[in-house]
Amino acid sequence: MSPIPMNEPGTISAEDLKFYTLSNNAGISVTLLNLGAGVFDLLVPDKDGNLVNVVVGPKNREDYLLPEYLQENRCFGSSVGRYAGRISNGKFRINNESFQLSVKDGVHMHGGSRGLQHKLWELESQDKDRNAICFSCLSEAGEEGYPGNLKVQVTYTLTKENALEIEYKAVTDSSTPVNITNHTFFNLNGGGSVSDHELIINALHILEVDDRQLPTGEIVNLRGRPKDFSFNMRIEEQEIDDTFKLEKSGDFAATLFACNTGIRMQVKTNQPAVVIYIPEALPNKWKYKNEVLKFPTICIETQNFPDAPNHKHFPSAILEPGEDYVNFSSYKFSVENEKE
């Protein structure tokens, strides 16, 4: 992998932003952006054969360079890290050594202002036979306070079976926390609200959090609670920002369905959790691709537990030299045609 240097905030211009597209014979196409190695557009045929952009995000690529976008750190479609989610007070210990990360309001969030989502990634390869594109970047030792040089790759593959596969790999030269995820905002209607979407999550437990959305360390049973999506249920108008502990049984992590379009998305992953993020609203600081209403979108972030370095009973998030970090996730699309 050919690492590229860290991008200082504010030094990237619109001319640096590049788009790459994958498409298959079923009519599905995904457009990728080198900034944050992210998903910019994802077009999927609906039950009537019309193409629906199921990704919510800024309409113009230049919006990703605005100071407001950096400040919001919303990570539309981006590859997020080094550590997706929150780390309490930005502190952790490795081998009896303490480390202090950058913080905002007492929390280190999504790798900070120089996280992977704010970097220009280098195009490593395009494999036409596999219908795949690979990007890479380097997170340098000391960046945001993290130890070790972290070399990261992401490979996007659009399969004949209509699955968008996303695989993150990383190696380090010093022990360091790693938790990378894709932060695509979905709306299977192509706009409006996701309150009518049906959701299933293969989880019976959720992480308890405090008033700063930090895990307390407790893992709570979901039975009888409003956020129990272990069976098919409409999302309705509820704001969610929670970590669901995935069950080891079953072959899926989550399933999302929109009856208006008939589009279904099934998510699989090798990760121990999914973070479900459903905001009540999105910032009005830029224009969006489609109409954005109340509860406009849902993120299904496949990842490790937030704040895992500070909870010994959580799955370990420490990557050691000589080890390979791998996060593999699949987002498979299908259509239910009510006319059939």
Entry field: residues in the chain: 340
Tokens found for residue 206:
């959720």
Nearest C-alpha neighbor of 39 from the set 68, 91, 77, 84: 77
Place of tokens 């996303």: 166
Spatial separation of the C-alpha atoms in residues 154 and 32, rounded to whole Å: 11
Helix (H) / strand (E) element for 69: namely helix 67-72
| Catalytic-labelled residue, pool 118, 197, 301, 311 | 301
Q: Are 137 and 152 in contact (CB under 8 A)?
A: yes
Q: Is 301 a catalytic residue?
A: yes
* Coil, strand or helix at 68: helix
Place of tokens 């979108």: 297
Q: Is 183 a catalytic residue?
A: yes
| Catalytic-labelled residue, pool 108, 110, 118, 183 | 183
Q: Are 42 and 184 in contact (CB under 8 A)?
A: yes
Q: Is the dihedral of CA 109, 114, 117, 122 positive or negative?
A: negative
Q: Are 166 and 119 in contact (CB under 8 A)?
A: no
The one-letter code for the residue type at 232 is: N
Neighbouring C-beta atoms of residue 312, cutoff 10 Å? 8
Neighbouring C-beta atoms of residue 31, cutoff 10 Å? 18
Q: Are 7 and 120 in contact (CB under 8 A)?
A: yes
Tokens found for residue 175:
């022990």
Q: Are 258 and 31 in contact (CB under 8 A)?
A: no
Spatial separation of the C-alpha atoms in residues 178 and 52, rounded to whole Å: 34
Q: Are 54 and 42 in contact (CB under 8 A)?
A: yes
Which residues are annotated as catalytic?
Answer: 183, 301
